[in-house]
Homo-oligomer: A and B are copies of this chain.
Amino acid sequence: MGWSTQATARDVAALANVSAQTVSRVANGAENVSPETRARVLEAMAKVGYTPNGAARALRSGRSDMIGIVVHHLTRTGEANIVQAVATTAHDRGYAVTLMDASTGAASDLNEALARIGPGVAGVVVLGLETSDVDRLKAPGRLPVVVADSRSLAHPAVGFDQRGGAQQAVGHLLGLGHACVHMLAGPQSSLQSRLREHAWREFLTAAGRPVPPVLRGDWSPASGYAAGQVLAADREVTAIFVANDEMAAGLMRAFHEAGRRIPDEVSVVGFDDVLAEYLWPPLTTVRQDFSAVGDGLVRLLLQRIGSPVADPDPVSTVVPAHLVIRASSGPPPGHR
């Protein structure tokens, strides 16, 4: 019964009067076992509480039922959501999940994490690749790797439709009657931020509107607060698209302190929907379906594990984003 005396395939074999590899066949769901034998083996397994020894299986077969996941900022709600979804989907398909954290999002740290986690796993999901050096990501040998929310030439990816999300945000604000939409972007090193900014610029230009100079933060509420102080002083500003919810929180705080009312005087739209419903006023924002990304990552990875030959044309998937309208956006002052 004790932990130290786990039942082995031989024990089951002896009890069921078969050989060890018939036990193995049953454990692995092989076809070529007679129904009676199978039943007898299953019964014996249940009786002794048999669980195949994963180490032995991995050693002999060279296969692993473990996938690795490299994270950087598990603390960020988005990343935590993806990890949760990855774990759930992986477990449903019989895979265990090993977590490895990289100290920073830089390619060198992610590569170190990959090297540490690589041996023993069947493949790896990489999250938190914020920097633009996606293509400096190098997996040891032919270890299958998929990355979250980044474009990569070397590895398939599952990401959000940044462009569509930004278009919806800007379109919503223009539709409310705002003549112009300002933007608070994230750091230039972030691909996500650049994609959102590009879509914003593109959309305004296509609509024949002026494109005001962009402000930049570092994703933190403090940087949003600083930008908010600048924007609150400018009476021309009536609508702001902020590249994430955290900066939007800081920005709105600056507006509250300056006595400028949201949405009566200024409309604000965020991105992510991780904080938005808690803020005051509740923030209109672009929601990302994190669990769809986690799920897609596992599917993609397992497909790659199935055929470990390098795919000449890596599959990439895009998960749609959609706008959630709350109370922080409305028509401009004096409109209608």
Q: Please give the residue numbers on chain A whose beta carbons come within 8 Å of chain B beta carbons, in ascending order.
A: 1-4, 6, 51, 53-56, 58-59, 64, 66, 69, 71, 74-75, 77, 80-81, 83-84, 87-88, 91, 96-101, 116-120, 140-143, 221, 246, 249-250, 252-253, 256, 275, 277-280, 282
Contacts and interface: CB of A to CB of B under 8 A. Distances in A.
B280 A279 contact: yes
A98 B101 contact: no
A83 B73 CA distance: 11
A309 to B, nearest CB: 12
Contacts of A252: 280
B99 A83 contact: yes
Contacts of A54: 55, 119-120
Contacts of A77: 75, 77, 80
B2 A142 contact: yes
Contact of A140 (B3, B80, B277): B3
Contacts of A83: 74, 99
A55 to B, nearest CB: 4
Contact of A141 (B3, B81, B250): B3
B275 A253 contact: no
Contacts of A99: 69, 83, 87, 97-99
A3 B120 CA distance: 11
Nearest to A97: B99
Copies in the complex: 2
A250 B279 CA distance: 9
Given A77-B75, A143-B3, A101 B119 contact: no
A153 B200 CA distance: 57
Contacts of A253: 280, 282
- Per CB-CB distance, the 8 closest pairs between chain A and chain B, nearest first, are A3-B141, A249-B278, A55-B58, A55-B59, A80-B80, A3-B142, A74-B84, A280-B280
A98 B100 contact: no
A209 B193 CA distance: 53
B75 A119 contact: no
Given A87-B101, A253-B282, 4 more contacts: A53-B119, A56-B59, A74-B81, A99-B99
A91 B80 contact: no
Contacts of A275: 275, 278
A170 B117 CA distance: 47
A88 to B, nearest CB: 6
B100 A91 contact: yes
Nearest to A275: B278
Contacts of A71: 84
A91 B97 contact: no
Contact of A81 (B2, B75, B120, B277): B75
Contacts of A117: 96
A275 B280 CA distance: 13
Contacts of A87: 74, 99-101
